[in-house]
Amino acid sequence: MTLADSLKFEKKHDFLVAIDSDGCAFDTMEIKHKECFIPNIIYYWNLQAVSKYARAAAEFINLYSKWRGVNRFPALTMTFDLLMDWPEVQRRGVTIPRAQSLRDWIARETKLGNPTLNAEVERSGDTVLQQALAWSEAVNADIARMVHDVPPFTYVRESLQRLAEVADVMVCSATPSEALRREWEEHDIARYVRVIAGQEVGSKKEQIEQAASAGYEPQRILMIGDALGDLKAARANTARFFPINPGHEEDSWENFFKKHLDDFINGQYSEEKESSLISEFESFLPAIPPWQK
């Protein structure tokens, strides 16, 4: 296993399987967002007066909506957008950050991580970007301090052991690579993957694209994920997708291990089976927050 800057590795098997980490392999989404991301959003962006609304908006974007799993920086600006449109927030007269320079950076940068943001801060000296970097670094420090002893979901280890025999397995994630390495090594499952790719490598679409350049047939590439962004990354590479349903992760992994893993390897994971699973998966990821209904 290597921690990747590049995903150009030698193909060993005919199959490539990309697996997301937070919320997919590990039950870490809730603790990271509720205990690390959101308190720092409130502190660094001066949202104390609307903290309960900021918490609800950030939880919806990052955990309970179609945007679940989106990179932290777009998620931050989406949280601001929800707050700007919330009548109760408007009535409190609190100024919600527009963070336009952060939005501009997100629009032009594909590797949305602290290294590229730090380079942009040094180049531009922009104060909003400095604030975003300070927030992101604080999040990482809190994750490193707080998130440990969270094992992978049941049937993840068993699935990895089986997959490693027949496929080149990679971690495909928007999480910083250092945190991924720490979590996968802590639970002794890094041994089953060829490479660990985080946000510094590029988007999930780009990660799969780089790895696939080793020469896999599209129908032999599988993305396993718990967010619509994972599905989108798979589709952009004409790869197959297996969903891990939010709130029902262990059932999904058991289903994969006992049935669909062999279906995929044997060429029997049909579009019909995949479509049925994706339809169920999408039902867990609404686009409209409950307070707007």
Inform me whether the pLDDT recorded for 29 exceeds 60. yes
State how far the Cα of 101 lies from the Cα of 237, in Å rounded to an integer: 31
Reduced 3-state DSSP string for the chain: CEECCCCCCCCCCCEEEEECCECCCECCHHHHHHHHHHHHHHHHCCCHHHHHHHHHHHHHHHHCCCCCCCCHHHHHHHHHHHHHCCHHHHHCCCCCCCCHHHHHHHHHCCCCCHHHHHHHHHHHCCHHHHHHHHHHHHHHHHHHHHCCCCCECCCHHHHHHHHHHHEEEEEECCCCHHHHHHHHHHCCCHHHCCEEECHHHCCHHHHHHHHHCCCCCHHHEEEEECCHHHHHHHHHCCCEEEECCCCCHHHHHHHHHHHHHHHHHCCCCCHHHHHHHHHHHHCCCCCCCHHHC
Question: What is the CATH number assigned to the segment(s) 2-27+153-282?
Answer: 3.40.50.1000
Inform me whether the pLDDT recorded for 194 exceeds 90. yes
pLDDT for position 10: 85
State how far the Cα of 278 lies from the Cα of 248, in Å rounded to an integer: 14
**Model confidence at 293, in pLDDT bands (50, 70, 90)?**
confident
* Reported pTM: 0.87
pLDDT for position 3: 47
Inform me whether the pLDDT recorded for 58 exceeds 90. yes
pLDDT tens readout for residues 204-220? 999 999 999 999 999 99
Inform me whether the pLDDT recorded for 196 exceeds 70. yes
Mean per-residue pLDDT over the chain, rounded: 95
Looking at per-residue pLDDT, the higher value among 27 and 5 belongs to: 27
**Model confidence at 6, in pLDDT bands (50, 70, 90)?**
low
Q: What is the domain partition of the chain in residue ranges?
A: 2-27+153-282, 29-146
Inform me whether the pLDDT recorded for 136 exceeds 90. yes
pLDDT tens readout for residues 154-182? 999 999 999 999 999 999 998 888 889 99
pLDDT tens readout for residues 243-261? 999 999 999 999 999 999 9
| Residues pairing with 3 in the sheet | 196
pLDDT tens readout for residues 137-158? 999 999 999 999 999 999 999 9
Q: Stretch 277-292: mean pLDDT, rounded? A: 96
Q: Stretch 259-269: mean pLDDT, rounded? A: 97
